[in-house]
Chains A and B, each alone.
Chain A
Amino acid sequence: MQKNIMVFLENTKNGFADVSLELLCKAKSLAEILGSKVIGLAVGHNLTGLEKLGVYGADKVVYIEDEELKLYRSLPYSKAVISAIKFYKPYIVLFGATHVGRDLAPRVASNLRVGLTADCTELKIGEYKVGDKIYKDQLLQIRPAWGGNIIATIVSPESIPSMATVREGVMAIEGVDEKRVAEVERFQVQFSASDLVTEIIEQYEEEKKVDLKKARIIIGAGMGAANETTMEMIFELASLIKAEVGGSRPLVDAGFLSRDRQIGQTGVTVRPNLYIACGISGQIQHLAGIMDAKRIIAINKDKDAPIFQVAHYKIVGDLMDVLPIMIQGYKEALKYTEK
């Protein structure tokens, strides 16, 4: 059997969602291990740019096109996706953990009676052993659970396809090949009146706000970072390790960051897996917002700064010297773990 990987391609006003492209890249690398193909599944109306998805790793893009599919609705979309899965028989199906993906994927899994793992932070191919039974080529679905207190590896050995959702920004855009073109194929699905009962009256767009509450990694900048050069380095490190940037009140007051990025008693309370405090003294009003961080790295030139009392990792030094080393150190660590 061909162990193909299907990726649900979420269609937005501005083209396909970033997470869909990220998933195509991930699917490509998993398919290489399985010796199989990546099938993108696009559902919508007036879909364009499908063959270009080859760039990210799709070998084939299957599309379901209908005026009724212009806006996402649970019933017609789940019917479309279920029909396509039954026809193409993929071995793995991946969805973005967006509002759409989290509305759609569970219905599909429930209908097909297969496993579904939400919000995976890593996907691998590996073995699953139970007793003396060995299941090969399993999708290892790795995700945090229990409010981020544990990391679990989930498999669905006895049901095909294995299904998972993944949050935006977790998988990297990599292995892109501008020359690759996907084969494009239309798939027909008939909808009945009972599939189309939901009416979307109106959609309201809101300006994209930073949501520090959901961030897994946050770099907190304090008055020790209150200059352009240091802030630039902080943003560079942040984009590298996929972190959000937040800050102390005086730094926000000084205009280096917008108000929605203020952390602490009068700002937001954050619960990241990792908080990197850069040039923050660690006054109680700031600490009030970060006490739920799973790990705290503090960088401060004052070895007696109170922030060190709550930090798990203490780095005494000037940000001007330490930040470049952090950037370099991360790049080296990556190289090492990729080997």
Chain B
Amino acid sequence: MGFNMIVLMKQVPDTSNVQEGAMKSDGTVNRDALPAIINPEDLCALEEALKIKETHGGHITVISMGPLKAEQALKFTLCLGADKAILLSDRRFAASDTLATSYTLSKAIEKIGAYDIIFCGRQAIDGDTAQVGPQVAEKLGLNQLTYVFEIVDLSKGHITVKREISNGYERAKAPLPILLTITSAANIPRPPSVKKAMAFKKLSAKEPSLVEADFPLQLWDAEFISADPTRCGLKGSATKVKKVESVVLKTREKKEIEPTLSSISSLMKELIHDHIIG
């Protein structure tokens, strides 16, 4: 029979690689100056789905909300073995916080309809919030197991996992359908298939009105998923950014500090002011 699985994937700027030019003079981030990668734990989430597909059979749909260039990342997930990839791209989705993101993703999931397991990464490295997974689950009225690092069993409509807790880990069992968030400890994602990469070389995302329902790379907008535009993007976001400050050092300019009380206490003041220490 197999399982219907959905993987939520985000393309993120490689924040481990922030270099000069990545920060604008006003202290905001220049997204374009950073290489875009698939959020690492989302690849671990996809890997878990692929393992289930291999042992039990099933169908994997990857969904990503983001700008058009995320098409490449979605194509990559097809080369890894996903069956279908959906890019949610619409000007009205721009500048979403996690509330608006989870609303939009849940509308797309409702559009897909049947699912047994939804996989997310534990958290995305750009915001490190770990909020979108549980927020999607709540919107769908769905149970969740977060911080999963091992799927122990999947049978008789139930899933048993090991998940991290504050002082160790626990084994938990729950019925399907369910949303899981997967940590990087779960697996090492496989490399893409060269054969598939060749086959998909010319593939580009198409709007659903132009293609068959099972076309592997699709581009969906707000209308198609019946999303209320006032709950998407900037409008649908409850949080607003009041201010951003850069803490990246412009150059590794060295300051020599005299080992005296007055110069060390002014160094400490500087560090407290810059939120380095509290």
Q: B-contacting residues of A (Cβ < 8 Å)? A: 12, 17, 72, 74-75, 78, 98-100, 102-107, 109-111, 113-119, 121-122, 128, 130, 140-142, 144-159, 170, 172, 197-206, 208, 217, 241-242, 273-274, 292, 294-295, 297, 308, 310-317, 321-322, 325-326, 328-330, 332-334, 336-337
A328 and B261 form a contact (CB under 8 A):
yes
B269 partner, pick from A17, A104, A146, A336, beta carbons under 8 A:
A336
Main secondary structure of the interface of A (DSSP, over half): mixed
B72 → A minimal CB distance (Å): 21
B102 and A110 form a contact (CB under 8 A):
yes
Q: Digit string of B102-135 for contact with A (CB within 8 Å is 1, else 0)?
A: 1000000000000000000000011111111111
Q: Digit string of B209-253 for contact with A (CB within 8 Å is 1, else 0)?
A: 000000000000000000000000000011111111111110011
Q: A-contacting residues of B (Cβ < 8 Å)? A: 13, 15-16, 18, 22-23, 27-29, 97-99, 102, 125-139, 143-147, 160, 164-175, 237-249, 252-261, 264-269, 271-273, 275-278
A154 and B275 form a contact (CB under 8 A):
no
A116 and B131 form a contact (CB under 8 A):
yes
Query: B129's closest neighbor in chain A, by CB?
Result: A118
B277 and A326 form a contact (CB under 8 A):
no
A114 and B238 form a contact (CB under 8 A):
yes
Assuming the contacts A107-B138, A142-B275, A336-B269, asked whether A294 and B252 have C-beta atoms less than 8 A apart, the reply is no
B247 partner, pick from A109, A150, A201, A336, beta carbons under 8 A:
A150
B107 → A minimal CB distance (Å): 13
Report Cα–Cα, A117/B131, bound state, in Å: 9
B99 partner, pick from A115, A147, A217, beta carbons under 8 A:
A115
Residues from chain A with a CB closer than 8 A to the CB of B98 are 106, 116
A282 → B minimal CB distance (Å): 13
Given A103-B134, A106-B98, 13 new contacts (CB under 8 A): A12-B167, A78-B138, A99-B165, A102-B131, A110-B139, A122-B275, A122-B278, A151-B244, A153-B241, A158-B238, A274-B277, A297-B267, A329-B264
A157 partner, pick from B240, B266, B267, beta carbons under 8 A:
B240
B255 and A156 form a contact (CB under 8 A):
no
Query: 20 A–B contact pairs at CB < 8 A?
Result: A99-B164, A102-B131, A103-B147, A104-B134, A109-B238, A115-B99, A128-B242, A145-B126, A154-B240, A198-B172, A199-B174, A205-B168, A242-B278, A295-B249, A312-B254, A312-B255, A313-B255, A313-B257, A326-B264, A328-B265
Report Cα–Cα, A144/B276, bound state, in Å: 10
Residues from chain B with a CB closer than 8 A to the CB of A337 are 269, 272-273
A63 → B minimal CB distance (Å): 21
Report Cα–Cα, A208/B249, bound state, in Å: 34
Assuming the contacts A118-B129, A199-B173, A199-B174, asked whether A103 and B146 have C-beta atoms less than 8 A apart, the reply is yes
